[in-house]
Amino acid sequence: MRKTSRLPNLRNLGVVLRILIIANSALMLSALTLSHSIETFIYQLTTISTFAQPMLFVCLLLLYGCYSFLVKMSYRKAIAFIFILITLGTALIHGLFSQLWLFSDLPSLTRIVFYAWIISAVIFYYFNLHHRAYSPAVTEARLQALQARIRPHFLFNSLNAVLSLIRDQPKQAETALEDMADLFRVLMAENRELVPIAQEIALCRQYLALEKLRLDERLKVEWQIDNVPPDILIPPLLLQPLIENAVYHGIEPLIDGGTIKVQIYTKQNEVHLILKNPYKAQNKHSSGNNMALKNIKERLTLHFDLEASLKTKKLDDTYEVHITLPNHTQTINAQSI
């Protein structure tokens, strides 16, 4: 984990929205303290916003542009540099207003910078509290608790399948045991950092190979991943639990089995993961699916805030899960906020 992880991701939509909400709440509070009626409140809020909104917009642009530089600094240096950027952005807009503004009651630069620093201090104090609430120990504990665990029936079924192969097909049994070891090694790891999508796909193939031992021809998988860059970063154990759900809820209840379709593609700055499996209403495996999906949703929120989403829908006899997340590669290691 980087030592600058306390710094909020200033390119994250959720962080930007929080900054806008806190800053505008402070502006409304200032207008309220200067008002004695609804008319004066509206006038004060309009006047203050006329000065403040362009400054806020410019400061956000500066922070967005400098974020990749800020994350390389220590937390204290990054905060100090942010206050310098805020001062520059405020001075830039104040100078522009001084040249073009028609009113004579433009507040002094010192006063505006002072208010900008106060609001900025409140914002970063909030994010500091937010970070403490999701401190490394707490975040790791929550992520570990939210990791979708392989169901006990899978372990026993896989062991029985391996035992049946030991005499007749010892080489295949050895490969299956190696796959199981890799799978459980990943489950027991910390699983806090994002991993390349190629690693997650390889893990899913190992899992499916184990399920194939007992389901045989009942389990078919179609992969549509030819154009996916292998270095895209995603949360670990994101796709594997979905595939496990698809096997457990979609394939096992059907006598003839079915096909799981996995489609992964990039579009603009987003990564789309779509998984489809057969769906049969009111099967005995129906319970527990929503809990696993809620866990994955919360993990996506911990990693990407509002930039990721998980949607599900039923189409005739097909159940579809569609995950959208920001397109990060190994050169930009996304962080939880």
Cβ(302)–Cβ(142) below 8 Å? yes
Residue 101's pLDDT is what?
A: 64
**Predicted pLDDT of residue 159:** 76
pLDDT value for 134: 65
Using alpha carbons, list the distances in angstroms from residue 160 to 33, 156, 164.
72, 6, 6
What is the DSSP-derived secondary structure letter of residue 329? B
pLDDT value of position 163 = 79
Query: What pLDDT does 1 receive?
Result: 37
Kindly report the CATH class assigned to 145-326: alpha beta
Q: Is residue 63 within 8 Å of 159, Cβ to Cβ?
A: no
Query: CA 258, CA 217: separation in Å to the nearest integer?
Result: 9
Tell me, yes or no, if the pTM score tops 0.75: no
Domain boundary assignment for the chain: 13-133, 145-326
Whole-angstrom distance, CA of residue 292 vs CA of residue 287: 10
Alpha helices, DSSP H, located in the chain:
13-33, 38-70, 75-100, 109-133, 136-146, 152-165, 170-188, 197-215, 239-245, 289-304
Task: Write out 142-164 in H/E/C secondary structure.
Answer: HHHHHCCCCCHHHHHHHHHHHHH
Q: Return the DSSP state at 285.
A: T
For the chain, report the end-to-end CA distance as a whole number of angstroms: 13
pLDDT of residue 176: 81
User: What is the reported pLDDT for 76?
Assistant: 87
What Å distances lie between residue 62 and 7, 181, 210, CA to CA?
A: 15, 48, 51
Q: What angle do CA 134, 140, 144 make, to 5 degrees?
A: 130
Tens of pLDDT along the chain (337 residues)?
334 457 888 888 888 999 999 999 998 998 888 888 888 888 888 888 888 899 999 999 999 999 888 888 888 899 999 999 999 999 998 888 888 765 567 778 888 899 999 999 999 998 888 777 766 555 555 555 555 455 556 667 677 777 777 877 788 888 888 887 877 777 666 666 788 999 899 888 988 888 888 888 899 999 999 888 888 999 888 888 898 889 888 898 888 889 999 999 999 889 999 999 998 766 555 555 567 788 788 888 878 888 899 999 988 889 999 999 998 876 444 443 3
